């Protein structure tokens, strides 16, 4: 490969068989310093697709940064690689600096505003810069997220008749995770729907894409290993690496067909007590959690509104809840019954 095969993205020019680093400048702070999205590039010696591996789009979901490090620096030799890996370990540097889920300045969940808006608030501009300067130059997109512990790790997959959805399933299933399926969603439609995700923008442009969910705040070696092996499997499936796929450690895949999770929200306030561990099958009406006040009295009992599996007990920081907080995620069985039509979230 000659000079024309140098891979260029943002401020990076990476020759074949090399690693390189750089950044997307996604905005500017009050003191004039840039909002930098760090990028790592691993450019193969043979032609092939560009694989985007992103993490920490929400500032507390840091485990993917370590998955990227292992893949880029330890597990893939660029001379074995066909194509290019672009790692973006901290896709939302502002939320990351504040240890926050949302971008602090505008309070937005950036993962509802893709492909972004160059004239919008900081989250929308950050989404726009990430998309146009990074993801638009990729062919395959993996966005690594994390739920609060305790959680059952899973992948969110869009389904549809376009061939891109079949390729997205191929991608998602490489990770060995339980898969939650939902219909494709419109772009940039804000908080009301689980829509405008980074992966939605990628799928809209014909790129197979998936959202992975492990556990947040920590760099748990189980999920690092699972994500690393899953990524190597995906690279093999798309013929970017030679070799056999390996079993993914530490994750369990629920075989039944599941829809994207429903969220139960608290009416009362107090300490959350979890009644069944994530990954457990529950029937409609089965108790899954309760809120106990500071005096020790039960204030609210949560029952599953669906036949499905408990995925996670989300929390802000403490294992406590205030009115309106999401406190339980349950993935409904596609074939199961549902007593109401609860809100959908992620």
Partner 1 sequence: MKAFAIGSVQCEPGHLATGHLIGGYLENSAAVEVPLVVLHGTRPGPVLWIGGALHGPEINGIEVIRRITRELVAPETLSGTVIGAPVQNPLSLRDHHRFILREGADVNRVFPGKALGNHTQRLAHRLFTEGIQRADVVIDIHSNTHPAIDFILIRGGSPAAERSRELAELFGWTLVLSLLEQEQSMTGTLMDAALAAGIPAMTLELTPQRELHDDSISSCCAGVLNVMREMGMLDEPTTMPVRREPIPELLGNTVQVLAGRGGFVHPLRQVGTRVNAGDSLAIIRDAYGDVVETIVSPLQGYVTVYPRYANQTCFSGQTVAFVNPIRAGA
Cβ density class 30-41: b for 16+ within 10 Å, e for less: eeeeebbbbbbb
The count of chain residues that interact with partner 1, using the rule CB under 8 A, is 33
Q: How far is CA 201 from CA 40, 163, 171, 217, in A?
A: 22, 16, 16, 26
Rounded CA separation 249/226 (Å): 5
Is the separation of the CB atoms in 315 and 295 below 8 Å?
no
Q: Is 142 in the site for partner 1 (CB under 8 A)?
A: no
319 lines the binding site for partner 1 (CB under 8 A): yes
Distances (CA, A) of 99 to 51, 201, 314: 27, 26, 16
- Is residue 144 a contact point for partner 1 (CB under 8 A)? no
Choose between 217 and 250: whose C-beta lies nearer to partner 1.
217
CB 208, CB 194: distance < 8 Å: no
| 153 in contact with partner 1 (CB under 8 A) | no
Is residue 332 within 8 Å of residue 278, measured between CB atoms?
no
Determine the Cα–Cα distance for residues 152 and 214; give it in Å rounded to an integer: 7
Pairing, β 258-259 against β 178-182: parallel
Q: Which stretch binds partner 1 (CB under 8 A): 78-86, 186-194, 313-321, 324-332?
A: 313-321
Contact 39, 77 (CB under 8 A): no
- Out of 2, 192, 296, 335, the only residue in the binding site for partner 1 (CB under 8 A) is 296
**Which of 25, 217, 225, 344 contacts partner 1 by CB under 8 A?**
217
**Which one, 2 or 296, has the nearer CB to partner 1?**
296
Residue 86 found at the interface with partner 1 (CB under 8 A): no
C-beta of 100 vs 236, nearer to partner 1: 100
Write down the residue that tokens 């690092």 correspond to: 224
CB of 38 to partner 1, least distance (A): 4
Range list of H helices, the chain = 63-69, 93-97, 122-133, 163-173, 198-204, 221-237
Does residue 96 touch partner 1 according to CB under 8 A?
Answer: yes
Q: Binder to partner 1 among 10, 12, 35, 72 (CB under 8 A)?
A: 72
Name the minimum Å distance from CB 71 to partner 1.
Answer: 10
Using rule CB under 8 A, residue 99 touches partner 1: yes
Q: Map residues 219-258 to x or -, x wherever contact with partner 1 holds by CB under 8 A.
A: x---------------------------------------
According to the binding rule CB under 8 A, does residue 214 interact with partner 1?
no
Handedness of CA 249, 255, 258, 261 (dihedral sign): negative
In the list 8, 73, 239, 339, the residue contacting partner 1 (rule: CB under 8 A) is 73
Residues near partner 1, by CB under 8 A = 21, 38, 40, 59-60, 62, 65-66, 68-69, 72-73, 89-90, 96, 99, 149, 217-219, 271, 273, 292, 294-296, 315-320, 322
């Amino acid at each position: 490969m000659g000079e024309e095969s140098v891979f260029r993205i943002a401020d990076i020019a990476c020759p074949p068989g090399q690693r390189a680093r750089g950044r997307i400048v996604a905005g500017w702070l009050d003191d004039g310093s840039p909002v930098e999205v760090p990028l790592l590039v691993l450019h193969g010696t043979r032609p092939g697709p560009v694989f985007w591996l992103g993490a920490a789009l929400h500032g507390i979901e840091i485990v993917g940064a370590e998955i990227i490090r292992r893949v880029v620096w330890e597990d893939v030799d660029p001379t074995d690689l066909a194509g290019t890996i672009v790692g973006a370990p901290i896709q939302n540097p502002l939320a990351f600096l504040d240890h926050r889920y949302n971008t602090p300045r505008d309070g937005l969940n950036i993962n509802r505003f893709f492909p972004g808006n160059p004239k919008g608030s900081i989250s929308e501009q950050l989404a726009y810069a990430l998309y146009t300067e990074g993801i638009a130059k990729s062919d395959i997109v993996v966005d690594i997220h994390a739920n609060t512990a305790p959680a059952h790790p899973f992948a969110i997959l869009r389904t549809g008749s376009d061939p891109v959805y079949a390729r997205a399933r191929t991608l998602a299933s490489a990770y060995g995770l339980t898969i939650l399926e939902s219909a494709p969603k419109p772009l940039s439609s804000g908080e009301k729907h689980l829509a405008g995700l980074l992966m939605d923008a990628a799928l809209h442009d014909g790129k197979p894409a998936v959202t992975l969910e492990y556990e947040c705040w920590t760099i748990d070696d189980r999920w690092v290993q699972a994500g690393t092996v899953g990524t190597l499997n995906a690279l093999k499936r798309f013929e970017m690496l030679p070799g056999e796929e390996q079993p993914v450690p530490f994750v369990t895949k629920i075989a039944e067909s599941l829809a994207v999770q429903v969220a139960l929200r608290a009416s009362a306030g107090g300490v959350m007590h979890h009644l069944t561990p994530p990954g457990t099958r529950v029937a409609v009406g089965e108790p899954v959690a309760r809120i106990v006040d500071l005096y020790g009295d039960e204030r609210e009992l949560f029952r599953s509104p669906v036949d499905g599996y408990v995925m996670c007990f989300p929390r802000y920081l403490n294992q406590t809840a205030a009115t309106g907080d999401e406190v339980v995620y349950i993935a409904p069985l596609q074939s199961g019954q549902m007593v109401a039509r609860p809100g959908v979230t992620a």
